[in-house]
């Protein structure tokens, strides 16, 4: 989410390549995939078919940039949206604009297991089976300890007519005249006749693993061989790393020190994963500041603080925290309510290579108390 995040990642890979530590035993390795083995691309990734409302934004690995979603809705290019377990209001910049755009859709279909603002906006709500109500496969790839796949069954029976997400998509596809997602995964069967395990076995049909062995092993799992060297052998043109792409060399040359803070950085919390909350700790946002910054602004723990950027402002409860770096204003990314997305833009400072919005390192000011009334 930072201006030069992709440059830092590129230079890290260059260091690993030059030191012989990338895709080699004992170094950083790549998982080739279990249910879908990665294969060399047949052609260079296409940069065509950008969103009609944002032609300056390319597709990245075939995907539409999420930052263009609100423009596509406002332009009438997207009239129906299906959201599975996320929340674009809190995950994308300019939440107020996104909220209004979602309310204008012909249909907003939300797949979820909990009440939320997005569920309230939805025209259709589809309750999915929770993690303890379904069978699943888990890649337990703790690289320093173990590389394995586990098969787990449901712990409790689904309640309230909840259905698996694969069943929802398959049923919708059949009603639209298709064969259902995955095609041969269902073998032409009615989704009502397919179980979680049968669906997962269909996925494993494309895997090097033996499905019977995997399900018999259950939570103990089946080891997945570590395969160092496969990227260099199968994915690289002429077997060589391309460590100096022009686009990244240009970005490195244009790098400039952002200067002193304060700057906004997103953070994670144990109880949150992006826009998904796992505990009932409320939606009150917190702003964490280093003691030096807090003292300079006259901010105290549990006091009110207003964070302002060039795009908006958020008022929240302050926490003075010596673990936060001096010059940094730290807020949890993805929180609903007074979201830090208000401080970012969906149009300015969008990374031209990744199409990610600039959400870390955003220049801000901090003020003790709430902003003066504009009335």
Show the DSSP H helices in 27-84 as ranges.
69-74
CATH architecture of 263-368: Beta Barrel (2.40)
Tokens, residue 368: 């003790």
pLDDT given for residue 367 in this prediction: 94
Q: What is the pLDDT of residues 165-209, one digit of tens each?
A: 999 998 888 888 765 554 545 667 788 889 999 999 988 887 888
Confidence (pLDDT) at 185: 54
Question: Cα 172 vs. chain centroid, distance in angstroms?
Answer: 25
* For range 139-151, the mean pLDDT: 72
pLDDT of residue 375: 47
Q: Is the pLDDT of residue 136 over 60?
A: yes
Give percent of the chain above pLDDT 90: 51
How buried is 53 (Cβ within 10 angstroms: 0-12 exposed, 13-18 middle, 19+ buried)?
A: middle
| Distance, CA of 7 to chain centre | 20
CB 267 within 8 A of CB 330: yes
Name, of 35-39, 254-258, 322-326, the range with top average pLDDT.
Answer: 322-326
- Looking at the predicted structure, is the pLDDT value of residue 326 above 60? yes
Q: What is the pLDDT of residue 32?
A: 80
Whole-angstrom distance, CA of residue 107 vs CA of residue 65: 21
Which range has highest mean pLDDT (37-41, 53-57, 114-118, 205-209)?
53-57
Q: How far apart are the first and last CA of the chain?
A: 35
Q: What pLDDT score does 210 carry?
A: 92
The confidence score (pLDDT) of residue 176 equals 80
Q: Residue 331 is inside which H or E element, if any?
A: strand 328-332
CA distance 47 to 66: 15
Strand ranges across the sheet with 328-332: 362-363, 263-267, 328-332, 286-289, 313-320, 304-308, 365-368
What's the mean per-residue pLDDT of the chain? 86
249 token code pair: 């060399």
Least confident of 39-48, 235-244, 304-313: 39-48
In this predicted structure, what is the pLDDT of residue 43? 57
Each residue's pLDDT tens digit, 267-299: 877 766 655 665 555 557 789 999 999 999 999
Q: What is the mean pLDDT of residues 81-108?
A: 93
For residue 284, which of 331, 223, 252, 325 has the smallest C-alpha distance?
331
Q: How many CB atoms lie within 10 A of CB 355?
A: 21
**Residue 56: φ, ψ to 5°:** -80, -10
- Which DSSP letter does residue 192 get? G
Tell me what pLDDT residue 274 has.
Answer: 59
As a whole number, mean pLDDT of residues 217-239 equals 87
What pLDDT is stored for residue 109 in this prediction? Answer: 97
How far is Cα 271 from Cα 276, in angstroms, rounded to an integer? 8
Residue 148 pLDDT: 87
User: Rounded mean pLDDT of 233-260?
Assistant: 88
Highest mean pLDDT among 9-23, 133-147, 337-351 belongs to 9-23
Question: For 48-81, what is each residue's pLDDT tens digit?
Answer: 678 899 999 988 877 889 999 999 999 999 999 9
Higher pLDDT residue, 153 or 334? 153
Q: Which residue ranges make up each domain of the chain?
A: 5-120, 136-223, 263-368
């Amino acid at each position: 989410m930072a201006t030069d995040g992709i440059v830092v990642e590129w230079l890290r890979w260059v260091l690993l390549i030059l030191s012989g530590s990338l895709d080699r035993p004992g170094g950083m390795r790549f998982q080739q995939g279990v249910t879908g083995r990665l294969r060399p691309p047949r052609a260079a990734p296409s940069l065509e078919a950008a969103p009609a409302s944002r032609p300056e934004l390319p597709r990245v690995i075939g995907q539409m940039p999420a930052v263009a979603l609100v423009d596509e809705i406002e332009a009438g290019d997207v009239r129906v949206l299906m959201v599975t377990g996320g929340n674009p209001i809190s995950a994308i910049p300019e939440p107020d604009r996104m909220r209004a755009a979602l309310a204008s859709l012909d249909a907003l279909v939300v797949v979820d297991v909990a009440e939320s603002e997005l569920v309230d906006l939805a025209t259709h709500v589809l309750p999915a089976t929770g993690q303890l109500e379904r069978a699943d496969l888990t890649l337990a790839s703790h690289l320093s300890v173990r590389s394995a796949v586990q098969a787990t069954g449901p712990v409790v029976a689904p309640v309230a007519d909840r259905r698996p997400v694969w069943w929802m998509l398959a049923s919708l596809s059949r009603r639209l005249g298709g064969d259902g997602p995955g095609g041969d995964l269902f073998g032409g069967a009615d989704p009502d006749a397919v179980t979680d395990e049968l669906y997962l076995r269909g996925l494993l049909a494309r895997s090097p693993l033996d499905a019977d062995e995997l399900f018999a092993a259950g939570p103990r799992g089946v080891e997945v061989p570590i395969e160092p060297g496969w990227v260099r052998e199968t994915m690289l043109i002429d077997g060589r790393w391309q460590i100096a792409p022009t686009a990244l060399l240009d970005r490195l040359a244009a790098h400039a020190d952002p200067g002193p803070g304060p700057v906004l950085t997103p953070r994670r919390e144990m109880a949150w994963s992006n826009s998904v909350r796992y505990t009932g700790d409320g939606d009150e946002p917190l702003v964490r500041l280093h003691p030096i910054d807090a003292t300079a602004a006259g901010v105290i723990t549990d006091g009110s603080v207003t964070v302002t950027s060039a795009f908006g402002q958020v008022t929240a409860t302050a926490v003075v925290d010596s673990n936060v770096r001096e010059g940094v204003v730290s807020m949890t990314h993805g929180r609903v309510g007074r979201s830090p997305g208000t401080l970012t833009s969906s149009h300015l400072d969008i990374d031209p290579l990744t199409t990610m919005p600039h959400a870390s390192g955003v220049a801000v000011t901090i003020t003790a108390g709430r902003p003066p009334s504009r009335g």
